[in-house]
Amino acid sequence: MTHKPQIKIPATYMRGGTSKGVFFRLKDLPEACQSPGEARDKLLLRVIGSPDPYQKQIDGMGGATSSTSKTVILAEPTQPDHDVDYLFGQVSIDKPFVDWSGNCGNLTAAVGAFAINSGFVAKDRIPENGTCTVRIWQANIKKTIVAHVPITNGEVQETGDFELDGVTFPAAEVQVEFMDPADGEGSMFPTGNLVDDLEVPGEGTLKATMINAGIPTIFVNAGDIGYKGTELQDDINSDPAALARFETIRAHGAVKMGLIQNIEEAANRQHTPKVAFVAKPSDYVSSSGKSIGAEDVDVLVRALSMGKLHHAMMGTAAVAIATASAVPGTLVNLAAGGGDRTHVTFGHPSGTLRVGAEAKEVDGQWTATKAIMSRSARVLMEGWVRVPGDSI
């Protein structure tokens, strides 16, 4: 039996925030994969090593978690006054699909550096020393993101002393601004309410804040579902019944947000919405053994991504947290002590994160102007990724 040989495609493996993924330039992809569709999805699935019934992604670049089963495609900007188009694909681990419904906020921190290194940013805009401002068009959600990338001797500065909980080693700080992060096609609160009664079979009626800022997110109170907000990954991910409960909450919330028509559709939309639970500050020990005091945080947040509790916090969910905390009366705001605020420090399984947001109410509708956070990023490997030629 004759099989096509492997093909090789220029690629860069990068960490961005608490995630990592395989980065491509659109023009480097095989011609059939330069347009959205089955060929592109099949290629990215094979690159990452999915679908894998063993859920290990041994035969690919994925790391068998939602944080490491990611792909990025960068292209020439389609919007004026932008440097690059950024398209994100969340690759399912055990199912044959790529979810294009949302952004990855963590990998956004690496997009600026990749854009500079790949020639998307004009050389006269890159200082010899200082900060290069990269304007990114996030093609999944059609929003502008501004990355402030440190430059030393004309090149991207990757090493530094900025520490990010959830990442073992320090690196250079990259500030990321998510401009107008709320859904531009509808209300930031899709139901029109800051807090809703969400009917969930088996759970009863849960108080929920459903927001579309950064990424569609459903927030519930930890205590209402039997948790404290101090849980670590194994507390949730080792409990199949708990994961099933969260998926049920997520599916019913997605219907209420108008993202899907019925709960069955949730299975094919794993990346969005996210589901998270919040609680008032409390002492806990992070996954690295670091003690987090109640006085160190404003609120505790735990969030699930692709059906599992995240080891830290998704960058887009951090935008949702920051924005919701800035709106008096949401569950996030109330758990953080209520009132007006422009920033919040929240506790997650790996430690803490400070994020800022600006929100305002106009004609009875809340909107967010921007959310800001600091991350870090670096190149892990660059060269070519290889896939069997008969896989696309």
* Residue that the structure tokens 């430059």 belong to: 151
Asked if 119 contacts 28 with a C-beta cutoff of 8 angstroms, the reply is no
Asked if 259 contacts 265 with a C-beta cutoff of 8 angstroms, the reply is no
- Name residue 281's amino acid: P
Instruction: Report whether the peptide linkage leading into residue 181 is cis, meaning its omega lies within 30 degrees of zero.
Output: no
* Residue that the structure tokens 């990025």 belong to: 72
Q: Which two tokens stand for residue 332?
A: 């996030």
Strands (E), 64-192: 70-75, 84-91, 98-99, 130-138, 143-152, 155-156, 174-179
Distances (CA, A) of 36 to 99, 273, 365: 12, 22, 35
First CA to last CA across the chain, in angstroms? 18
Distances (CA, A) of 112 to 107, 148, 174, 343: 10, 8, 9, 24
Active site residues: 104, 314
Task: Return d(Cα 33, Cα 21) in angstroms, integer.
Answer: 18
